[in-house]
Chain A
Amino acid sequence: MSPADYALLIVDDNPNNRFTLARRLTREGYTNVTQAENGRQALDLIKAKPFDLVLLDIMMPDINGYEVLEQLKKDPKLRDIPVIMISAIDEVESVVRCIEIGAEDYLPKPFNVTLLRARVGATLEKKRMRDEITRHTRRMERELATARAIQLSMVPTDFPTAAPERPITLYAVLRPAREIGGDLYDFFWVAPDCICLVVADVSDKGAPAALYMARAKTVIRVVATHLADACGGAFSPAELVSKANSVLCQDNPHMMFVTLFLCLLNVRSGELTWCNAGHNAPYLFSREGVLAALGTEDIPAGLVPTFTYSSKSAQFSDGGSLFIFSDGITEAMNEQSELYGSEQLEATIRSHADSAPSDLVAAVLQKLQSFTGTAAQSDDITVLACRWGT
Protein backbone atom coordinates (compact mmCIF):
# COMPACT_ATOMS: atom_id res chain seq x y z
CA MET A 1 0.00 0.00 0.00
CA SER A 2 1.24 3.52 -0.78
CA PRO A 3 0.75 6.45 1.64
CA ALA A 4 -2.07 7.79 -0.56
CA ASP A 5 -4.10 4.61 0.13
CA TYR A 6 -4.43 5.40 3.84
CA ALA A 7 -7.26 7.58 5.13
CA LEU A 8 -6.00 9.90 7.87
CA LEU A 9 -7.96 12.18 10.19
CA ILE A 10 -6.48 15.21 11.94
CA VAL A 11 -8.39 16.44 14.98
CA ASP A 12 -7.31 19.83 16.36
CA ASP A 13 -9.22 22.96 17.34
CA ASN A 14 -6.34 25.16 16.21
CA PRO A 15 -6.60 25.83 12.43
CA ASN A 16 -2.88 26.63 12.14
CA ASN A 17 -1.92 23.31 13.69
CA ARG A 18 -4.31 21.44 11.38
CA PHE A 19 -2.93 23.26 8.36
CA THR A 20 0.72 22.61 9.26
CA LEU A 21 0.18 18.94 10.02
CA ALA A 22 -1.92 18.34 6.90
CA ARG A 23 0.71 20.00 4.73
CA ARG A 24 3.53 17.93 6.21
CA LEU A 25 1.59 14.71 5.81
CA THR A 26 0.76 15.60 2.20
CA ARG A 27 4.46 16.13 1.54
CA GLU A 28 5.09 12.60 2.84
CA GLY A 29 2.58 11.31 0.30
CA TYR A 30 -0.44 11.04 2.61
CA THR A 31 -2.85 12.83 0.33
CA ASN A 32 -6.06 11.38 1.78
CA VAL A 33 -6.28 13.60 4.87
CA THR A 34 -9.51 14.79 6.49
CA GLN A 35 -9.67 17.49 9.15
CA ALA A 36 -11.96 17.88 12.15
CA GLU A 37 -12.02 21.02 14.29
CA ASN A 38 -13.45 19.47 17.44
CA GLY A 39 -14.11 16.17 19.18
CA ARG A 40 -17.78 15.97 18.24
CA GLN A 41 -17.07 16.43 14.55
CA ALA A 42 -14.25 13.87 14.76
CA LEU A 43 -16.52 11.20 16.27
CA ASP A 44 -19.20 11.85 13.63
CA LEU A 45 -16.65 11.54 10.83
CA ILE A 46 -15.14 8.34 12.27
CA LYS A 47 -18.58 6.74 12.61
CA ALA A 48 -19.46 7.72 9.04
CA LYS A 49 -16.42 6.32 7.25
CA PRO A 50 -13.43 4.15 8.09
CA PHE A 51 -10.08 5.79 8.92
CA ASP A 52 -6.71 4.09 9.11
CA LEU A 53 -5.21 6.58 11.57
CA VAL A 54 -6.42 9.42 13.79
CA LEU A 55 -4.03 12.21 14.86
CA LEU A 56 -5.71 13.62 17.94
CA ASP A 57 -5.03 16.81 19.89
CA ILE A 58 -5.49 16.51 23.66
CA MET A 59 -6.58 19.98 24.72
CA MET A 60 -9.78 20.92 22.93
CA PRO A 61 -12.93 22.68 24.16
CA ASP A 62 -16.19 20.74 24.65
CA ILE A 63 -15.13 17.13 23.99
CA ASN A 64 -11.38 16.92 24.59
CA GLY A 65 -8.86 14.38 23.27
CA TYR A 66 -9.22 12.00 26.26
CA GLU A 67 -12.94 11.76 25.78
CA VAL A 68 -12.68 11.13 22.03
CA LEU A 69 -10.09 8.44 22.75
CA GLU A 70 -12.24 6.83 25.46
CA GLN A 71 -15.28 6.75 23.19
CA LEU A 72 -13.27 5.13 20.39
CA LYS A 73 -11.81 2.47 22.67
CA LYS A 74 -15.25 1.67 24.13
CA ASP A 75 -16.74 0.96 20.72
CA PRO A 76 -15.87 -2.56 19.46
CA LYS A 77 -16.21 -1.38 15.86
CA LEU A 78 -13.83 1.57 16.31
CA ARG A 79 -11.48 0.14 18.94
CA ASP A 80 -8.87 -0.98 16.42
CA ILE A 81 -8.36 2.38 14.69
CA PRO A 82 -4.90 3.52 15.81
CA VAL A 83 -4.68 6.95 17.47
CA ILE A 84 -1.56 9.09 17.72
CA MET A 85 -1.90 11.87 20.31
CA ILE A 86 -0.67 15.35 19.49
CA SER A 87 0.69 17.09 22.54
CA ALA A 88 2.75 20.01 23.64
CA ILE A 89 6.28 19.04 24.67
CA ASP A 90 5.52 19.60 28.38
CA GLU A 91 2.43 17.35 28.48
CA VAL A 92 4.19 14.07 29.34
CA GLU A 93 1.69 13.08 32.01
CA SER A 94 -1.24 13.65 29.69
CA VAL A 95 0.45 11.53 27.05
CA VAL A 96 1.02 8.72 29.54
CA ARG A 97 -2.67 8.81 30.43
CA CYS A 98 -3.61 8.57 26.73
CA ILE A 99 -1.27 5.62 26.16
CA GLU A 100 -2.95 3.92 29.13
CA ILE A 101 -6.38 4.50 27.59
CA GLY A 102 -5.15 2.91 24.39
CA ALA A 103 -3.41 5.50 22.19
CA GLU A 104 -0.78 3.97 19.92
CA ASP A 105 1.85 6.71 20.18
CA TYR A 106 2.27 10.48 20.45
CA LEU A 107 3.77 13.37 18.50
CA PRO A 108 5.12 16.44 20.26
CA LYS A 109 4.40 19.95 18.96
CA PRO A 110 6.10 21.72 17.23
CA PHE A 111 6.20 18.89 14.65
CA ASN A 112 9.48 17.28 13.72
CA VAL A 113 9.45 15.86 10.19
CA THR A 114 11.55 12.79 10.99
CA LEU A 115 9.49 11.85 14.05
CA LEU A 116 6.25 12.42 12.13
CA ARG A 117 7.37 10.20 9.27
CA ALA A 118 8.61 7.44 11.59
CA ARG A 119 5.61 7.32 13.94
CA VAL A 120 2.90 7.65 11.31
CA GLY A 121 4.67 5.09 9.10
CA ALA A 122 5.17 2.59 11.94
CA THR A 123 1.60 2.94 13.21
CA LEU A 124 0.10 2.43 9.75
CA GLU A 125 2.36 -0.56 9.06
CA LYS A 126 1.29 -2.15 12.33
CA LYS A 127 -2.37 -1.58 11.46
CA ARG A 128 -1.88 -3.05 7.98
CA MET A 129 -0.34 -6.22 9.45
CA ARG A 130 -3.07 -6.50 12.07
CA ASP A 131 -5.75 -6.12 9.39
CA GLU A 132 -4.01 -8.75 7.31
CA ILE A 133 -3.93 -11.20 10.23
CA THR A 134 -7.58 -10.53 11.01
CA ARG A 135 -8.59 -11.11 7.39
CA HIS A 136 -6.51 -14.26 7.18
CA THR A 137 -7.85 -15.61 10.48
CA ARG A 138 -11.46 -14.93 9.47
CA ARG A 139 -10.98 -16.69 6.17
CA MET A 140 -9.42 -19.72 7.90
CA GLU A 141 -12.19 -19.80 10.48
CA ARG A 142 -14.89 -19.69 7.83
CA GLU A 143 -13.19 -22.38 5.77
CA LEU A 144 -12.70 -24.63 8.77
CA ALA A 145 -16.29 -24.13 9.94
CA THR A 146 -17.51 -25.22 6.50
CA ALA A 147 -15.06 -28.12 6.44
CA ARG A 148 -16.31 -29.23 9.87
CA ALA A 149 -19.93 -29.13 8.74
CA ILE A 150 -19.02 -31.15 5.63
CA GLN A 151 -17.02 -33.67 7.63
CA LEU A 152 -19.75 -34.18 10.23
CA SER A 153 -22.29 -34.65 7.44
CA MET A 154 -20.13 -37.45 6.03
CA VAL A 155 -20.98 -39.77 8.90
CA PRO A 156 -24.51 -41.17 8.93
CA THR A 157 -26.90 -40.22 11.71
CA ASP A 158 -30.00 -42.15 10.62
CA PHE A 159 -29.38 -44.82 13.23
CA PRO A 160 -31.35 -48.03 12.75
CA THR A 161 -33.90 -48.84 15.43
CA ALA A 162 -34.92 -52.32 16.47
CA ALA A 163 -37.50 -54.13 14.34
CA PRO A 164 -38.63 -57.78 14.70
CA GLU A 165 -36.66 -58.86 11.60
CA ARG A 166 -33.70 -56.58 12.43
CA PRO A 167 -33.35 -56.56 16.21
CA ILE A 168 -30.48 -54.05 16.44
CA THR A 169 -30.16 -50.58 17.86
CA LEU A 170 -27.20 -48.40 17.12
CA TYR A 171 -25.80 -45.07 18.21
CA ALA A 172 -22.53 -43.25 17.53
CA VAL A 173 -20.84 -39.93 18.19
CA LEU A 174 -17.91 -38.27 16.40
CA ARG A 175 -16.11 -35.36 18.09
CA PRO A 176 -13.08 -33.93 16.31
CA ALA A 177 -10.52 -32.38 18.71
CA ARG A 178 -9.93 -29.46 16.38
CA GLU A 179 -12.43 -28.10 13.85
CA ILE A 180 -11.83 -31.16 11.70
CA GLY A 181 -10.18 -34.49 12.43
CA GLY A 182 -9.26 -37.95 11.29
CA ASP A 183 -11.72 -40.16 13.13
CA LEU A 184 -14.69 -41.71 11.42
CA TYR A 185 -17.50 -44.13 11.99
CA ASP A 186 -19.83 -45.59 9.43
CA PHE A 187 -22.60 -48.17 9.12
CA PHE A 188 -24.35 -49.49 6.05
CA TRP A 189 -26.28 -52.55 4.94
CA VAL A 190 -24.42 -54.91 2.64
CA ALA A 191 -27.31 -57.41 2.46
CA PRO A 192 -30.89 -57.32 3.81
CA ASP A 193 -29.81 -59.09 6.99
CA CYS A 194 -26.20 -57.92 7.22
CA ILE A 195 -24.93 -54.57 8.45
CA CYS A 196 -21.34 -53.38 8.26
CA LEU A 197 -20.02 -51.25 11.16
CA VAL A 198 -16.76 -49.31 10.97
CA VAL A 199 -14.76 -47.15 13.37
CA ALA A 200 -11.45 -45.76 12.13
CA ASP A 201 -8.74 -43.38 13.25
CA VAL A 202 -6.35 -41.70 10.80
CA SER A 203 -2.80 -40.84 11.88
CA ASP A 204 -2.21 -37.24 12.93
CA LYS A 205 -4.90 -34.58 13.45
CA GLY A 206 -6.49 -31.61 11.74
CA ALA A 207 -6.66 -31.05 7.99
CA PRO A 208 -4.17 -33.75 6.81
CA ALA A 209 -6.04 -36.39 8.81
CA ALA A 210 -9.44 -35.10 7.64
CA LEU A 211 -8.52 -35.46 3.97
CA TYR A 212 -7.38 -39.05 4.43
CA MET A 213 -10.45 -39.75 6.57
CA ALA A 214 -12.70 -38.73 3.68
CA ARG A 215 -10.68 -40.96 1.37
CA ALA A 216 -10.79 -43.94 3.75
CA LYS A 217 -14.54 -43.63 4.28
CA THR A 218 -15.25 -43.52 0.55
CA VAL A 219 -12.86 -46.36 -0.31
CA ILE A 220 -14.38 -48.67 2.33
CA ARG A 221 -17.93 -47.97 1.12
CA VAL A 222 -17.07 -48.40 -2.56
CA VAL A 223 -15.11 -51.62 -2.00
CA ALA A 224 -17.96 -52.96 0.18
CA THR A 225 -20.52 -52.18 -2.53
CA HIS A 226 -18.37 -53.93 -5.14
CA LEU A 227 -17.93 -57.03 -2.99
CA ALA A 228 -21.62 -57.10 -2.06
CA ASP A 229 -22.62 -56.91 -5.74
CA ALA A 230 -20.08 -59.54 -6.73
CA CYS A 231 -20.88 -62.11 -4.08
CA GLY A 232 -24.24 -61.12 -2.63
CA GLY A 233 -22.94 -60.12 0.78
CA ALA A 234 -21.02 -63.37 1.24
CA PHE A 235 -17.61 -61.79 1.79
CA SER A 236 -15.49 -61.54 4.87
CA PRO A 237 -14.36 -58.38 6.69
CA ALA A 238 -10.76 -59.39 5.94
CA GLU A 239 -11.44 -59.40 2.19
CA LEU A 240 -13.00 -55.97 2.45
CA VAL A 241 -10.16 -54.54 4.56
CA SER A 242 -7.44 -56.15 2.39
CA LYS A 243 -8.91 -54.62 -0.78
CA ALA A 244 -9.55 -51.23 0.83
CA ASN A 245 -5.98 -51.30 2.20
CA SER A 246 -4.40 -51.88 -1.21
CA VAL A 247 -6.37 -48.91 -2.60
CA LEU A 248 -5.45 -46.72 0.38
CA CYS A 249 -1.75 -47.52 -0.14
CA GLN A 250 -1.83 -46.06 -3.65
CA ASP A 251 -0.60 -42.48 -4.04
CA ASN A 252 0.18 -42.20 -0.36
CA PRO A 253 3.74 -40.80 -0.26
CA HIS A 254 3.15 -39.25 3.15
CA MET A 255 2.42 -42.69 4.57
CA MET A 256 -0.83 -41.61 6.14
CA PHE A 257 -2.40 -44.62 7.79
CA VAL A 258 -5.65 -45.55 9.40
CA THR A 259 -6.35 -47.93 12.24
CA LEU A 260 -9.76 -49.47 11.80
CA PHE A 261 -12.19 -51.96 13.21
CA LEU A 262 -14.65 -53.27 10.68
CA CYS A 263 -17.30 -55.88 11.33
CA LEU A 264 -20.25 -57.54 9.64
CA LEU A 265 -23.21 -58.37 11.83
CA ASN A 266 -25.81 -60.87 10.77
CA VAL A 267 -28.86 -59.29 12.36
CA ARG A 268 -30.87 -62.53 12.26
CA SER A 269 -28.37 -64.75 14.00
CA GLY A 270 -26.29 -62.25 15.97
CA GLU A 271 -23.13 -63.68 14.41
CA LEU A 272 -20.33 -61.15 14.18
CA THR A 273 -17.31 -61.40 11.89
CA TRP A 274 -14.65 -58.78 12.28
CA CYS A 275 -11.27 -57.51 11.22
CA ASN A 276 -9.06 -55.32 13.39
CA ALA A 277 -6.36 -53.31 11.58
CA GLY A 278 -4.27 -51.93 14.42
CA HIS A 279 -7.25 -50.37 16.19
CA ASN A 280 -7.98 -50.31 19.93
CA ALA A 281 -9.77 -53.56 20.75
CA PRO A 282 -13.55 -52.97 20.95
CA TYR A 283 -15.63 -54.69 23.62
CA LEU A 284 -18.29 -57.30 22.97
CA PHE A 285 -20.33 -57.90 26.11
CA SER A 286 -23.43 -59.56 27.47
CA ARG A 287 -26.20 -57.62 29.20
CA GLU A 288 -24.75 -58.98 32.47
CA GLY A 289 -21.51 -57.11 31.72
CA VAL A 290 -19.16 -59.96 30.77
CA LEU A 291 -16.61 -58.33 28.46
CA ALA A 292 -14.50 -59.70 25.61
CA ALA A 293 -11.91 -57.53 23.81
CA LEU A 294 -11.70 -57.97 20.04
CA GLY A 295 -8.03 -57.41 19.19
CA THR A 296 -5.70 -58.91 16.59
CA GLU A 297 -2.20 -58.41 15.29
CA ASP A 298 -3.00 -56.81 11.95
CA ILE A 299 -1.32 -53.56 10.96
CA PRO A 300 -3.18 -50.32 10.15
CA ALA A 301 -4.35 -49.78 6.58
CA GLY A 302 -2.47 -47.57 4.11
CA LEU A 303 1.06 -48.85 4.76
CA VAL A 304 1.69 -52.26 3.14
CA PRO A 305 -0.34 -52.85 -0.05
CA THR A 306 0.13 -56.62 -0.05
CA PHE A 307 -0.76 -57.20 3.59
CA THR A 308 -3.30 -59.97 4.14
CA TYR A 309 -5.75 -59.18 6.90
CA SER A 310 -7.52 -61.79 8.97
CA SER A 311 -11.14 -62.21 10.05
CA LYS A 312 -12.40 -63.60 13.31
CA SER A 313 -15.87 -64.31 14.48
CA ALA A 314 -17.85 -63.97 17.66
CA GLN A 315 -21.45 -64.33 18.75
CA PHE A 316 -23.68 -61.67 20.28
CA SER A 317 -25.62 -62.92 23.26
CA ASP A 318 -29.27 -61.93 23.32
CA GLY A 319 -29.40 -58.32 24.50
CA GLY A 320 -25.61 -58.06 24.29
CA SER A 321 -23.76 -55.11 22.80
CA LEU A 322 -20.63 -54.12 20.94
CA PHE A 323 -18.74 -50.96 21.89
CA ILE A 324 -16.21 -49.61 19.38
CA PHE A 325 -14.15 -46.52 20.16
CA SER A 326 -11.09 -44.53 19.16
CA ASP A 327 -8.09 -43.81 21.37
CA GLY A 328 -9.41 -40.29 22.00
CA ILE A 329 -11.26 -41.97 24.88
CA THR A 330 -8.54 -44.03 26.51
CA GLU A 331 -5.78 -41.49 25.81
CA ALA A 332 -7.77 -38.52 27.11
CA MET A 333 -5.89 -36.62 29.81
CA ASN A 334 -7.01 -34.62 32.80
CA GLU A 335 -5.38 -31.42 34.07
CA GLN A 336 -2.76 -33.50 35.91
CA SER A 337 -1.80 -35.16 32.59
CA GLU A 338 -3.11 -38.53 33.77
CA LEU A 339 -4.54 -40.88 31.14
CA TYR A 340 -8.17 -41.98 31.30
CA GLY A 341 -7.12 -45.53 30.38
CA SER A 342 -9.14 -48.63 29.66
CA GLU A 343 -10.00 -49.65 33.23
CA GLN A 344 -12.35 -46.73 33.81
CA LEU A 345 -13.91 -47.28 30.39
CA GLU A 346 -14.48 -50.95 31.14
CA ALA A 347 -16.05 -50.07 34.48
CA THR A 348 -18.50 -47.68 32.82
CA ILE A 349 -19.40 -50.28 30.20
CA ARG A 350 -19.98 -52.95 32.88
CA SER A 351 -22.26 -50.68 34.86
CA HIS A 352 -24.26 -49.81 31.72
CA ALA A 353 -24.11 -53.22 30.03
CA ASP A 354 -27.89 -53.48 29.80
CA SER A 355 -28.43 -49.87 28.62
CA ALA A 356 -29.58 -48.73 25.20
CA PRO A 357 -26.66 -47.75 22.90
CA SER A 358 -27.48 -44.03 23.14
CA ASP A 359 -27.51 -44.23 26.97
CA LEU A 360 -24.24 -46.16 27.03
CA VAL A 361 -22.55 -43.64 24.72
CA ALA A 362 -23.89 -40.73 26.80
CA ALA A 363 -22.65 -42.39 30.02
CA VAL A 364 -19.16 -42.99 28.60
CA LEU A 365 -18.85 -39.41 27.33
CA GLN A 366 -20.18 -38.00 30.58
CA LYS A 367 -17.73 -40.03 32.71
CA LEU A 368 -14.91 -38.98 30.41
CA GLN A 369 -15.96 -35.34 30.71
CA SER A 370 -15.95 -35.47 34.49
CA PHE A 371 -12.47 -37.03 34.37
CA THR A 372 -10.91 -34.53 31.95
CA GLY A 373 -12.60 -31.48 33.53
CA THR A 374 -11.31 -28.32 31.96
CA ALA A 375 -8.37 -29.97 30.17
CA ALA A 376 -8.59 -29.42 26.39
CA GLN A 377 -9.61 -32.39 24.21
CA SER A 378 -6.35 -33.39 22.57
CA ASP A 379 -7.47 -36.12 20.18
CA ASP A 380 -10.53 -36.93 18.10
CA ILE A 381 -13.14 -38.99 19.92
CA THR A 382 -15.40 -41.56 18.32
CA VAL A 383 -17.72 -44.05 19.98
CA LEU A 384 -20.16 -46.47 18.44
CA ALA A 385 -22.43 -48.81 20.38
CA CYS A 386 -24.60 -51.51 18.86
CA ARG A 387 -27.02 -53.75 20.73
CA TRP A 388 -28.48 -56.94 19.33
CA GLY A 389 -31.50 -58.96 20.34
CA THR A 390 -34.60 -58.39 22.36
Chain B
Amino acid sequence: MEMNEGTQDAVTVLEVAGRVDSVTAPDLGDRLTSLLSTPQRRLLIDFQRMEYISSAGFRVLFVASRHARDNGGRLAVCGLNTKANELFEIADFHKLIKVVPTRDEGLAALN
Protein backbone atom coordinates (compact mmCIF):
# COMPACT_ATOMS: atom_id res chain seq x y z
CA MET B 1 0.00 0.00 0.00
CA GLU B 2 1.18 3.52 -0.82
CA MET B 3 -0.16 6.85 0.40
CA ASN B 4 0.24 10.29 -1.15
CA GLU B 5 -0.95 13.45 0.44
CA GLY B 6 -1.82 16.73 -1.23
CA THR B 7 -4.10 19.73 -0.96
CA GLN B 8 -6.72 20.76 -3.49
CA ASP B 9 -9.33 23.53 -3.07
CA ALA B 10 -8.58 23.70 0.68
CA VAL B 11 -9.29 20.00 1.01
CA THR B 12 -6.62 17.51 2.09
CA VAL B 13 -6.54 14.67 -0.42
CA LEU B 14 -5.01 11.36 0.59
CA GLU B 15 -4.42 9.02 -2.33
CA VAL B 16 -4.28 5.38 -1.32
CA ALA B 17 -2.88 2.84 -3.78
CA GLY B 18 -2.41 -0.92 -3.61
CA ARG B 19 -3.88 -3.30 -1.04
CA VAL B 20 -5.56 -2.20 2.17
CA ASP B 21 -5.73 -5.41 4.20
CA SER B 22 -5.11 -6.54 7.76
CA VAL B 23 -1.36 -6.01 7.28
CA THR B 24 -1.48 -2.49 5.81
CA ALA B 25 -4.70 -1.11 7.31
CA PRO B 26 -3.00 -0.09 10.61
CA ASP B 27 -0.64 2.20 8.62
CA LEU B 28 -3.60 3.86 6.93
CA GLY B 29 -5.28 4.14 10.34
CA ASP B 30 -2.23 5.90 11.84
CA ARG B 31 -2.07 8.33 8.93
CA LEU B 32 -5.78 9.16 9.17
CA THR B 33 -5.56 9.60 12.95
CA SER B 34 -2.67 12.02 12.57
CA LEU B 35 -4.40 13.99 9.78
CA LEU B 36 -7.70 14.19 11.60
CA SER B 37 -6.13 15.33 14.87
CA THR B 38 -6.11 18.78 13.27
CA PRO B 39 -9.50 20.30 14.09
CA GLN B 40 -11.94 20.94 11.24
CA ARG B 41 -9.86 19.10 8.69
CA ARG B 42 -11.67 18.38 5.43
CA LEU B 43 -10.28 15.12 4.13
CA LEU B 44 -10.95 13.27 0.91
CA ILE B 45 -9.57 9.74 0.60
CA ASP B 46 -9.04 8.89 -3.04
CA PHE B 47 -9.07 5.14 -3.71
CA GLN B 48 -8.71 5.50 -7.49
CA ARG B 49 -5.52 3.40 -7.50
CA MET B 50 -6.54 1.04 -4.72
CA GLU B 51 -6.63 -2.62 -5.73
CA TYR B 52 -8.32 -4.20 -2.75
CA ILE B 53 -9.79 -3.25 0.61
CA SER B 54 -10.69 -5.76 3.32
CA SER B 55 -12.92 -5.38 6.36
CA ALA B 56 -9.81 -4.30 8.30
CA GLY B 57 -9.64 -1.33 5.90
CA PHE B 58 -13.32 -0.48 6.36
CA ARG B 59 -12.80 -0.54 10.11
CA VAL B 60 -10.10 2.17 10.00
CA LEU B 61 -12.38 4.27 7.76
CA PHE B 62 -15.13 4.10 10.39
CA VAL B 63 -12.71 5.05 13.15
CA ALA B 64 -11.55 7.97 10.97
CA SER B 65 -15.10 9.03 10.23
CA ARG B 66 -15.89 9.23 13.95
CA HIS B 67 -12.60 10.96 14.62
CA ALA B 68 -13.41 13.58 11.96
CA ARG B 69 -16.84 14.18 13.47
CA ASP B 70 -15.39 14.52 17.00
CA ASN B 71 -12.89 17.13 15.79
CA GLY B 72 -15.37 19.11 13.74
CA GLY B 73 -13.90 17.82 10.49
CA ARG B 74 -15.44 16.16 7.45
CA LEU B 75 -14.49 13.02 5.58
CA ALA B 76 -15.40 11.61 2.19
CA VAL B 77 -14.22 8.71 0.09
CA CYS B 78 -13.98 8.59 -3.71
CA GLY B 79 -12.73 6.34 -6.49
CA LEU B 80 -13.82 2.99 -5.08
CA ASN B 81 -13.60 0.23 -7.65
CA THR B 82 -16.55 -1.98 -8.55
CA LYS B 83 -15.56 -4.73 -6.15
CA ALA B 84 -15.11 -2.37 -3.18
CA ASN B 85 -18.38 -0.64 -4.04
CA GLU B 86 -20.08 -4.02 -4.01
CA LEU B 87 -18.71 -4.66 -0.51
CA PHE B 88 -19.93 -1.22 0.56
CA GLU B 89 -23.35 -2.12 -0.76
CA ILE B 90 -23.60 -5.62 0.75
CA ALA B 91 -22.86 -4.22 4.20
CA ASP B 92 -24.62 -0.92 3.46
CA PHE B 93 -21.63 1.12 4.59
CA HIS B 94 -22.99 4.08 2.60
CA LYS B 95 -25.08 4.80 5.69
CA LEU B 96 -21.86 5.45 7.64
CA ILE B 97 -19.45 7.15 5.25
CA LYS B 98 -19.88 9.69 2.48
CA VAL B 99 -18.95 7.91 -0.75
CA VAL B 100 -18.80 9.64 -4.13
CA PRO B 101 -17.60 8.32 -7.49
CA THR B 102 -14.97 10.92 -8.49
CA ARG B 103 -12.47 13.26 -6.93
CA ASP B 104 -14.28 16.35 -8.26
CA GLU B 105 -17.51 15.24 -6.66
CA GLY B 106 -15.58 14.56 -3.44
CA LEU B 107 -14.09 18.09 -3.45
CA ALA B 108 -17.51 19.54 -4.16
CA ALA B 109 -19.08 17.53 -1.33
CA LEU B 110 -16.50 18.81 1.15
CA ASN B 111 -16.71 22.45 0.05
The chain A residues found within 8 Å of chain B, CB to CB, are 201-206, 253-257, 259, 278-280, 295, 297-300, 303-304
Contacts and interface: CB of A to CB of B under 8 A. Distances in A.
A255 B92 contact: no
Given A254-B63, A255-B66, A203 B90 contact: no
Nearest to B62: A255
B31 interface: no
Contact of B59 (A256, A279, A298): A256
B96 A204 contact: no
B89 to A, nearest CB: 9
B22 interface: yes
Say which size band chain B's interface belongs to: 10 to 19
A304 B95 contact: yes
B61 to A, nearest CB: 9
A47 to B, nearest CB: 43
A32 B87 CA distance: 63
B18 to A, nearest CB: 14
B92 to A, nearest CB: 5
Interface string B87-103: 00011110110000000
A205 B56 contact: yes
Contact of B96 (A206, A297, A304): A304
Nearest to B89: A297
A66 B63 CA distance: 61
A329 B46 CA distance: 29
A85 B62 CA distance: 59
B96 A278 contact: no
Interface in B58-90: 58-59, 62-63, 66, 90
Given A203-B56, A204-B55, A205-B56, A299 B62 contact: no
Nearest to A255: B62
A257 B56 contact: no
Question: From DSSP, what is the main secondary structure of chain A's interface residues?
Answer: loop
Contact of A298 (B55, B66, B92, B96): B92
Nearest to B29: A254
B90 A299 contact: no
Contacts of B22: 204-206
9 contacts: A201-B55, A203-B58, A253-B63, A255-B59, A256-B59, A257-B62, A280-B90, A295-B90, A304-B96
Contacts of B56: 203-205
A303 B62 CA distance: 8
Given A205-B22, A299-B91, 19 more contacts: A203-B56, A203-B58, A203-B59, A204-B54, A204-B55, A204-B59, A205-B56, A206-B22, A253-B63, A255-B62, A255-B63, A257-B55, A257-B59, A257-B62, A278-B93, A280-B90, A295-B90, A299-B93, A303-B62
A44 B22 CA distance: 50
Contacts of A300: 91
B66 A203 contact: no
A259 B58 CA distance: 12
Contacts of A254: 59, 63
Contacts of B58: 203, 257
Nearest to A297: B92
A206 B54 CA distance: 13
A280 B25 CA distance: 22
> In the complex, which of the residues A202, A256, A279, A295 has the most CB atoms of chain B within 10 Å of its own CB atom?
A256
Contacts of B66: 255
Contacts of B25: 204
Contacts of A259: 90-91
A293 to B, nearest CB: 11
Nearest to B55: A203
A381 B11 CA distance: 41
A376 B58 CA distance: 23
A91 B88 CA distance: 68
Nearest to B63: A255
Nearest to A278: B91
B92 A299 contact: yes
